[in-house]
Amino acid sequence: MAAISREEVAHLARLSRLAVTEEELDTFAGQLDVILQSVAQVGEVAAADIPPTSHSVPLTNVLREDVVTPSLTPQEVLSGAPDAEEQRFRVPRILDEDVAS
Amino acid sequence: MTDLTKLSAVDLAGLVATGETSAVEVTQAHLDRIGAVDERVHAFLHVDTEGALAAARAVDERRAAGEELGPLAGVPVAVKDVLTTKGVPTTVGSKILEGWRPPYDSTIVERLRAAGTVMLGKTNMDEFAMGSSTEYSAYGPTRNPWDTDRIPGGSGGGSAAALAAYEAPLSIGSDTGGSIRQPGAVTGTVGAKPTYGGTSRYGLVAFSSSLDTPGPCARNVLDAALLHQVIGGHDPRDSTSIPAPVPDVVGAARLGASGDLTGVKLGVVTEFTGEGAEPGVMAAFRESVEALAKLGAEIVEISCPHFRYALPAYYLIAPSECSSNLARFDGVRFGLRVGDDGNRSLEEVMSLTREAGFGPEVKRRIMIGTYALSSGYYDAYYGQAQKVRTLITRDFTTAFEQVDALISPTTPFVAFPIGARTSDPYQMYLADLFTIPTNLYGGPAISVPCGLSDGLPVGLQIMAPTMADDRMYRVAAALESSVGTFTPPAL
């Protein structure tokens, strides 16, 4: 049985903000199915009582001194932007758009 | 006349320091070599000729002024295109950042500059460091100097190929699941993954933040150690950076070069010496284990039972982190923007931009990560993978109560032909079978050339405890003193 359907892959692509083509959906559905069936092997391990590890470095609450240090100018920050206006990043309209399904 | 491109970094630095050769001559020799061979190798995405010569001139001026130079001053270095370089294009092998010139240097590059090394340019890589062959670069594959019909490993194939092609004596890579060590193994070069947190991630374009580790690549162990020393150490701009001095990797490499491993106990990982590796790789590995024993090392077999689950755990954890990290590529602050015609919404522009800017492997991983993190699947996939990560870490800590370091082949197979594994993504993932456990644990590991199989290089991996990076350099240098270095056929 397939681990993931073409429809589910289309949903994932939408969540991932990837405007994939129909042809890509066909390819990805098969490939993601193989990958997900393989990685599902982690389920074979009895680990109910094992704590999870998210990170290997046991550092917590790393803070810096609250002092002013040199930083980039607005011009430098905006230098790579596809579009900028009045010292700000210009974006396409975000209001009045249809609610994503 | 000496061919400067064939010399080690140590020798080049010595010639520059004594004034026998200028840094400009050294740099020009490498730029000429790049000009002569890179059309066939494609190790570089960008060659910074002017920047390199200016940096070299500055070193020569400092020497002329009687200033003391660092141990690698005047030595050229190639930098993987995953690290930001101020004013110099940084693409991460992706179309989504084509033409981007970062406004700041990564910490690694800042330290390379401060040490007087000369950055030649940026090396090719699998897009966003996701891949094991450099075939997933949006700018075309890099070719292995040993056989240009074969892959140079990945993701840092450019950094490894640049060394094997004598285009650079040193290079920088980044290792999330093996991207320094596996290219090192298949190109007959040395690649070291430092302890996670031992090298700064500031300015390293993020793929999987709990695993990404920049590190040194070189043609011999001592050169790698010197580069490690220059780039390593605490960085306040990276909150996961370990606030401790760099282990004495240079001293350890010099000690190891004496060829004495008396008192060192090495564990051969039994899970990685079975059917997983091809026979030619195993033959070279077994011979090297005998060589290590002759140098005085005590060899035992060690079982790490959860290592077999490292690959599936990694391919849940890394894509999960990637799906989150790569959300920043939204066509707003840097890079590509597609479809902004004044009518489309932000979300539509974002989706079109990411569709056009990302290649297939990056899309696959973003979607796998999105799946593994979604409610309903989280516990069975991402949550379970994190628990497996704990068990793999315990395998390491238990092993290191019995031995000083673990050894295995670096990769299951030698360099494969270009195109052989691109149609089946999971077959590509298997290239990192032996390198991934270390990333999940966070310790250091190094790949050192140990022999040839049908004329292609084989690497031996040495895995050490967290912050015991010096230990792996000692063993690696000792092995190198016994088996020597390996030179590819002339290009």
Q: pLDDT grade, residue A98 (50/70/90)? A: low
Q: CA A14 → CA A76, B94, B130, B354, distances in Å? A: 33, 21, 21, 11
With CA atoms as reference, the chain B residue closest to A91 would be: B332
Say if B363 is an interface residue toward chain A (CB within 8 Å): yes
Query: Closest Cα to residue B87, out of B62, B61, B113, B69?
Result: B113
Looking at residue B288, its pLDDT comes to 98
A33: pLDDT confidence band, cut at 50, 70 and 90? very high
pTM of this prediction exceeds 0.95: yes
Assigned CATH topology for domain B4-303+398-483? Amidase signature (AS) enzymes (3.90.1300)
> Catalytic: B265?
no
Is the residue at A67 inside a domain? no
Question: How many of the other CB atoms lie within 10 Å of CB of A34?
Answer: 16
Q: Is residue A27 part of a domain?
A: yes
Number of helices (H), then strands (E), belonging to chain A: the values are 3, 2
What CATH number does residue A27 fall under? Answer: 1.10.20.60
The ipTM is: 0.93
Q: Do B367 and A62 make contact, defined as CB atoms within 8 angstroms? A: no
Among residues B80, B132, B174, B241, the one annotated as catalytic is: B80
Q: How far is A1 from chain B (nearest CA, A)?
A: 17
Q: Looking at the domain assignment, is residue A51 inside a domain?
A: no
Cα(B474)–Cα(B261) distance, integer angstroms: 8
B333-391 pLDDT, tens digit per residue, is 999 999 999 999 999 999 999 999 999 999 999 999 999 999 899 999 999 999 999 99
CA distance B437 to chain A (A): 12
pLDDT band at A101 (very low <50, low <70, confident <90, very high): very low
Contacts of A72 in chain B (CB under 8 A): 103-104
Give the closest-approach CA distance of B385 to chain A in angstroms. Answer: 6
**How do the pLDDT tens digits run along chain B, 491 residues long?**
689 999 999 999 999 999 999 999 999 999 999 999 999 999 999 999 999 999 999 999 999 999 999 999 999 999 999 999 999 999 999 999 999 999 999 999 999 999 999 999 999 999 999 999 999 999 999 999 999 999 999 999 999 999 999 999 999 999 999 999 999 999 999 999 999 999 999 999 999 999 999 999 999 999 999 999 999 999 999 999 999 999 999 999 999 999 999 999 999 999 998 778 999 999 999 999 999 999 999 999 999 999 999 999 999 999 999 999 999 999 999 999 999 999 999 999 999 999 999 999 999 999 999 999 998 999 999 999 999 999 999 999 999 999 999 999 999 999 999 999 998 898 899 999 999 999 999 999 999 999 999 999 999 999 999 999 999 999 999 999 999 999 999 99
CA-to-CA separations, B427 to B116, B311, B416, B421, B423, in angstroms, rounded: 41, 12, 12, 6, 9
- Comparing CB atoms, the residue among B330, B334, B384 nearest residue A80 is B334
Cα of B258 to nearest chain A Cα, Å = 33
* A60: chain B residues, CB-CB within 8 Å: none
| pLDDT at position A96 over 90 | no
Q: Are B120 and B47 in contact (CB under 8 A)?
A: yes
Total length of chain A: 101
Q: Is B174 a catalytic residue?
A: no
pLDDT at residue B168 in the model: 98
**Residue B80: active-site member:** yes
Residue of B nearest to A88 (CA): B333
**Mean per-residue pLDDT for A25-40?**
95
Q: How many domains does chain A have?
A: 1
Contact B301, B322 (CB under 8 A): no
Helix axes A6-15, B360-373, angle to 10 degrees: 90
**Min distance B194 CA to chain A CA atoms (Å):** 13
Q: Which of B288, B294, B282, B315 is nearest to B436 (CA)?
A: B315
The sign of the dihedral angle between the CA atoms of B224, B230, B234, B237 is negative
Amino acid at B94: S
Instruction: For A63-99, give one letter per residue: b (16+ CB within 10 A) or e.
Output: eeeeeeeeeeeeeebbbbbbebeeeeeebbeeeeeee
| B352/A52 Cβ within 8 A | no
Smallest Cβ distance to B347: which of A39, A53, A97? A97
What DSSP line would sit under B243-283, residue for residue? SSPPP-HHHHHHHHHTT--TT-EEEEEGGGSSTTS-HHHHH
Domain assignments of chain B as residue spans, ordered by start = 4-303+398-483
**Chain B residues within an 8 Å CB radius of A47:** 384, 387-388, 390-391
What is the rounded CA–CA span in Å between residue B137 and residue B204?
17
- Measured between CB atoms, does B4 come within 8 Å of chain A? no
Question: Residue A19: inside a domain, yes or no?
Answer: yes
Task: Give the structural domain span for A29.
Answer: 1-45
CB pairs under 8 A between A and B: 184
Residues B22, B133, B155, B208: which is the catalytic one? B155
Higher pLDDT, B108 or A96: B108
Evaluate whether B132 touches B126 at the Cβ level (below 8 Å).
yes
Range A52-67 average pLDDT: 89
Q: How far apart are the first and last CA of chain A?
A: 28
Residue owning tokens 């050169």: B223
pLDDT in tens, B46-96: 999 999 999 999 999 999 999 999 999 999 999 999 999 999 999 999 999
Residue B33: what pLDDT?
A: 98
Residues in chain B with CB shorter than 8 Å from the CB of A67 are none
